[in-house]
Structure 1
């Protein structure tokens, strides 16, 4: 397993902890944006595969998540999370000038990554969206319609067909196991609408991976968002039977292999 180190910077709303897995002779930079309630430490196996493929990998724990400061899972404006992510990308581009950057976002991280691509398209060579919160998310609309958000945590069985994934999630002290916060839901809703209004990422190559049996962020709701966001170069991979966390699914090697193949294609494009 590739080793990593942590570093800290002043984010928009307090200290943000970031992590880097450095390759000896990197060909590209892969930036990871994790999902709601979790943290970047859950992506060590993904980072390891990317490092072996020739990437230096980095990313933050978003504000209010993991080891970063802030009230737990409170996000009042996704643009602020995008700004923190931009600090990480700029740091990597300074340390490794001239290397192409591929941004990989899962779930809420897919929302963050999509918005980043709209705002900073010229900095990216490719975009990977895994089970992204885009388009239409009926669970979000249903929660916002309630007078009071119920204290119902995410069901770990919806993450993967591998029971060990759900068990590790439940036992992880850095994962948030409490209820959603209304301000965060409102911020996600506002960003979904903002992305739809902003439109396409143009010529930027996009890889969309999604579990067919994703009950947290259902496939067809995200498809509407992908269609609004996509440009001329979209690769779609839908995995039969897979649930929400395709990087932690029983066919995770296939999914990660698809990301590596996408990176190879992006890197082979003329500069």
Structure 2
């Protein structure tokens, strides 16, 4: 179980390794979630050759920090940058970055800063604040979203993707905010895997 030091303490991440992976997916969880919550997602990706790395945000899982104070977007982005450095330590090829909810906001912020170090970007349960800005230029972007998401209503993301045709939006009926833990999770994982393998070619 890898750890790395950030300005806010020692942070933990988890890797579900794959022999000779076809791609690496680095996931930033949402508020109150940690890497251990994503074992089913990792199991769904494994047959496709995708290796999943997931960060424990500060204060969650095995990471140091205050669980009630995840940090500012700049602090979260700095932590995510350290996480990506660890993912790439032995693997120079750029990973695909994914974020859910608060993790999506962090991932989008990081990608706008430095998209050249990423093979692609996936946003899940994307918050309204992400839709107030443009996507990272030149970066392939997939948005997966539940039609019944009450925490991050899909109408905002539909308008955002209509303005920015570089974003590939996949909608899931009868699904809410936490797509990777809902009945549609296997379909979402299959769509993500197919998109990731295309993005890294």
CA distance in 2, matches of 1:48, 1:266: 20
Q: CA deviation at 1:196?
A: 3.5
Q: Indicate the SS of the match to 1:38.
A: coil
Deviations 1:185-221 (A, max 9, x none): xxxxxxx5xx835x33112111111111111221123
What is the CA-CA distance between 1:115 and the residue it aligns to? 0.8
**Which of the residues 215, 220, 223 maps onto 2:155?**
220
Larger radius of gyration: 1
Unaligned stretches of 5+ in structure 2? none
Q: Give matches, 1:227-266, under 5 Å.
A: 230=164, 233-266=166-199
Equivalent of 2:86, from 85, 91, 109?
91
* 2:192 match: secondary structure: helix
What's the CA shift string for 1:155-194, capped at 9, x where partnerless? xxxxxxxxxxxxxxxxxxxxxxxxxxxxxxxxxxxxx5xx
- Contact 1:134 1:225 (C-alpha < 8 Å) held by counterparts: no
Greater strand content? 2
Within-5 A mapping of 1:1-271:
6-97=1-92, 99-135=93-129, 196=132, 199-223=134-158, 230=164, 233-268=166-201
Displacement, 1:100?
Answer: 3.4
Q: Alignment length, in residue pairs? A: 201
CA contact (8 A) 2:44 2:186 kept: no
Show the counterpart of 1:171: none
Which runs of 5 or more structure 1 residues have no equivalent in the other structure? 1-5, 136-191
1:118-137 alpha-carbon deviations (Å, 9 max, x no partner): 112001111111111133xx
Q: Which residue of 2 aligns with 1:166?
A: none
Counterpart CA distance in 1 for 2:161 and 2:82 is 26
1:208 alignment partner, SS class? strand
